Chain A
Amino acid sequence: MRLKSLAAALALPALGLAFAAPASAFCGFYVAKADTDLFNDASKVVLARDGERTVITMASDFRGDVSEFAMVVPVVDIPTEEQIHVANPALIDHIDAYTAPRLVEYYDENPCEIARRQKMMEDMAMMPAPTAAGMMEEAEELGVTIEAEYEVGEYDILILSAEESDGLITWLNNNGYKIPDGAEETVGAYLKRDMKFFVAKVNLERHDGSSMLRPLQVAYEDEDFMLPIRLGTVNAEGKQELFVFALTREGRVETKNYRTVKLPSDMDVPIYIKDEFADFYKDMFAHQVEKQNGKAVFMEYAWDMSWCDPCAAEPLSRSELRELGVMWLDEDTDDDMRPGFGPQPVDAFVTRLHVRYDAETFPEDLEFQVTGDRSNYQGRYVLRHPWRGDYGECEAAGDYAVSLVERWDDEANELAKLTGRDFDAIKTKMASLGYSDAILNNVSVEPKEKKNWWQKLWGN
């Protein structure tokens, strides 16, 4: 009896959301830099959270026959029509681009120039300059109640409650929502927690005919800050891909019931990665997931929304943030408004989390918590363009050529560690592009003795 009341207490306040992801409900993901489909079947979710107020934006890059599109999301409260909204898909692309892992490039200077300048200016250290880079009746028979029915944008939305998971699943399947086999237990668990089901389909009459579907948004208040993912793992083929963009006033968002780790960042990688950044990111992510035994949530970006460095895309504007659900922007009365003076600082912190999951590695729904940590973090990979010229021109140029060869070794090593690719294959590829010790062939300077650290220290 005690237990029952415990469980009931859980079910009441929770408004959780999950994707049934029937076959192709969500797919496609574009990274800013590469602008290529990287991860198929990826769901993208923006969560704006302040206290208990939450706005969830669920995006899909669904392409194809829109009559096939369906979305099944468990919720607890029955939202009113005003709490549901459709957003501009460009918003998701923008926040995706702004937070995407990025490449930065640096160009080495002519080492002879540097040596000359150093001679002139004695101890001045030089830094290379960075550059940027008949429903009702059937329902009743099956014990399913249609609690509310809305038409929002191109979507027909129903809020369903049910007595039994079997009845609900039968009803959903009969009405064109493809619920995978084996979902009874998961659906049943949500129903026992007194949750309702938010289901959406595209109304072809109200759809403008484009293959692009706009993201659906729901505003709600709840103590729980979570994202039910279990329906998506039922009978899923392979791993699911999910991106969560969390917007808060206070700081970074982390998962409470799963380990959050930072995607390795700030490595020097070979120049050729520039042409295959998408593949690099994909391989690296897969390798890092493997290293964590598939059991971690990756933080790819955490940053104050007022700025970026380097910017993969401009920060989101106030109106964009507002549309994504950042409800506190206009509430801060002490905000000094300075219209017309460029972008204003906004009190919003974004966290980009990337999860690859299945029922085995992520058995439970994702639970988040907002932290007060405002440290900036970004997935950033560095390309260093060598200076090309006559390495025999001066002694410094010869030294530089030797250091280049060492640097390229390090870059190959970093790439191998990040992606799990074969070190020798990387070296071969680099050599074919002119990044190998072959550059030393033309260097006429005699190989110098390697200096001891104390010699480097005091220069004697």
Chain B
Amino acid sequence: MDAVARFPFRLYRQMDADPRHWQVAALGGLFTLSWITSDFGVTLLTLCLSFAGAMIAQLLGTTISNARDGNPFLYRFEWKSALITALGITLLLRAADPWIWFAAGFVGISLKFLVRIDGKHIFNPGCIGIVTMMLLLGNKAWVSPGQWGQAPLVAGYAMALAALTLSSAKRLDIALGFLLGFAAILFARAAWLGDPMVIPMHQMSSGALLIFAFFMITDPRSTPDSRLGRILFAVMVAGLAAWFTIGPNVRGAPLMALAALAWTTPVLDRFLPAHRFQWSQPRSAASPKQLNYSLMPLQGTKETHP
């Protein structure tokens, strides 16, 4: 009886032990939504393929760097990150051939290990995987921003917001910075053109934009460490994405903008230094484990204190 009563709390604690759990739950929900509602949506095959690509790259990268550093074979094998990357790729990328999803996952995670500045990877793996495929393969790889209906979109926003608020990664600042920056440009442009406001509203209600804002640009590992840096970064990406959209009509504009501006993260980190984010850290070591079922774990921070 006691165990049953405690179950929700235990579940919550386990979920909250790692912010990525919330992300996986939300992305899984979006995956289901797309699966059910879209004619051109996700399939299990594409998820498996991008997951396989991401996992193989993650395994290779982990073992090679562990061998180099003299760590145990599978030390810090971040399979959850690979899963999140795979889910992001499946949700956003559409392709002519199945191998492209595999390649996107593989390339995305590989670049995470290969392109690092000060020990921090600069590209979001999912984003760079998709962008690489789009640049290399032309129209064989694309993003379908319009394929989310209105109702799924509302549900998606609710889920994404919930996941992000609950998640202790605390990266709502960057999601909101991006969305508000992007919206500000679109609304200002509509006002200048004399367009009715339903036009920018319509432009903002894109499922791909939601996934990008809540699950890609928010990646704590490849965005600036300080809050000010993150907001600056978000606004820059929003500006470039808006220009890509209304200017030269670049495909997958937000993803391209994020990839193009990835180099600014180390620059912002240099000028606005802050604690570096780590996914999993020995939480119990930092704070002795308390066995109370507090409903306020949101107060905790998971940033490491070197």
Q: Do these two chains interact?
A: yes
With A13-B248, A259-B148 known as contacts, the answer to whether A364 contacts B199 (CB < 8 A) is yes
Q: Does B251 touch A at the CB level, under 8 Å?
A: yes
Q: Is the CB of B94 within 8 A of A371?
A: yes
Size category, A interface: 35 or more
Contact residues in A for B251 (Cβ distance below 8 Å): 369
Contact residues in A for B96 (Cβ distance below 8 Å): 251, 371-374
Q: Is the CB of A292 within 8 A of B248?
A: no
Interface residues of A in 401-415 (CB under 8 A from B): none
Q: How far is the CA of A185 from the CA of B195 in the complex (A)?
A: 7
Q: Is the CB of B145 within 8 A of A257?
A: yes
Kindly specify which of A1-9, A96-104, A145-153 makes contact with the partner chain. Answer: A1-9
Q: Does A370 touch B at the CB level, under 8 Å?
A: yes
Q: Does B185 touch A at the CB level, under 8 Å?
A: yes
With A7-B246, A364-B203 known as contacts, the answer to whether A250 contacts B149 (CB < 8 A) is no
Smallest CB–CB gap between A14 and chain B, Å?
A: 8
Contact of B146 among A189, A258, A374 (CB under 8 A): A258
Kindly specify which of B75-83, B136-144, B284-292 makes contact with the partner chain. Answer: B136-144
Smallest CB–CB gap between A337 and chain B, Å?
A: 26
Question: When A and B form their complex, what is the total count of cross-chain residue pairs whose Cβ atoms lie within 8 Å?
Answer: 105
Q: Does B39 touch A at the CB level, under 8 Å?
A: yes
Interface flags for B138-172 (1: CB within 8 Å of A; 0: not) read: 11111011111110000000000000000000000
Interface residues of A in 283-297 (CB under 8 A from B): 292-293, 295-296
Q: Please, which residue of chain A has its CB at the minimum distance from the CB of B247?
A: A9
Q: Does A239 touch B at the CB level, under 8 Å?
A: no
Q: Please, which residue of chain B has its CB at the minimum distance from the CB of A184?
A: B194
Contact of B242 among A6, A292, A369 (CB under 8 A): A6
Q: Is the CB of A223 within 8 A of B248?
A: yes
With A13-B248, A257-B202, A261-B39 known as contacts, the answer to whether A188 contacts B194 (CB < 8 A) is yes
With A363-B196, A364-B203 known as contacts, the answer to whether A372 contacts B137 (CB < 8 A) is yes
With A9-B246, A9-B247, A259-B148 known as contacts, the answer to whether A371 contacts B194 (CB < 8 A) is no
Q: Is the CB of A373 within 8 A of B202?
A: no
Q: Does B198 touch A at the CB level, under 8 Å?
A: yes
With A251-B139, A259-B147 known as contacts, the answer to whether A6 contacts B39 (CB < 8 A) is no
Interface flags for B72-102 (1: CB within 8 Å of A; 0: not) read: 0000000000000000000000111100000
Q: Is the CB of B142 within 8 A of A372?
A: yes
Q: How far is the CA of A224 from the CA of B248 in the complex (A)?
A: 8
Residue among A251, A292, A372 having the largest count of chain B Cβ atoms under 10 Å? A372
Q: How far is the CA of A256 from the CA of B145 in the complex (A)?
A: 6
Contact residues in B for A4 (Cβ distance below 8 Å): 192
Residue among B97, B139, B199 having the largest count of chain A Cβ atoms under 10 Å? B139
Q: Is the CB of B196 within 8 A of A6?
A: no
Q: How far is the CA of A10 from the CA of B139 in the complex (A)?
A: 22
Contact residues in A for B137 (Cβ distance below 8 Å): 372
Smallest CB–CB gap between A17 and chain B, Å?
A: 16
Smallest CB–CB gap between A194 and chain B, Å?
A: 11
Interface flags for B187-206 (1: CB within 8 Å of A; 0: not) read: 01100111110110011001
With A6-B242, A185-B195, A364-B199 known as contacts, the answer to whether A372 contacts B139 (CB < 8 A) is yes
Q: Does B249 touch A at the CB level, under 8 Å?
A: yes
Q: Is the CB of A189 within 8 A of B193?
A: yes
Q: Is the CB of A6 within 8 A of B195?
A: no
Q: Does B40 touch A at the CB level, under 8 Å?
A: yes
Q: Does A380 touch B at the CB level, under 8 Å?
A: no
Q: Does B279 touch A at the CB level, under 8 Å?
A: no
Q: Does B243 touch A at the CB level, under 8 Å?
A: yes
Q: Is the CB of A10 within 8 A of B94?
A: no
Contact residues in A for B185 (Cβ distance below 8 Å): 3, 6
Q: Is the CB of B144 within 8 A of A254?
A: yes
Contact residues in A for B139 (Cβ distance below 8 Å): 250-251, 370-372
Contact of A372 among B95, B145, B194, B246 (CB under 8 A): B95
With A3-B188, A223-B249 known as contacts, the answer to whether A293 contacts B150 (CB < 8 A) is yes
Q: How far is the CA of A189 from the CA of B198 in the complex (A)?
A: 14
Interface residues of A in 256-274 (CB under 8 A from B): 256-262
Give me 21 A-to-B residue pairs in the complex whose CB atoms sit less than 8 angstroms apart, sorted by A's number: A3-B189, A6-B243, A10-B246, A13-B247, A185-B195, A188-B194, A189-B194, A254-B40, A254-B147, A258-B146, A259-B146, A259-B148, A260-B147, A262-B39, A364-B199, A370-B139, A371-B144, A372-B137, A372-B138, A373-B40, A373-B96
Residues of chain A having any CB pair with chain B under 8 Å: 3-4, 6-7, 9-10, 13, 185, 188-189, 192-193, 223-225, 250-251, 254-262, 292-293, 295-296, 299, 360, 363-364, 369-374
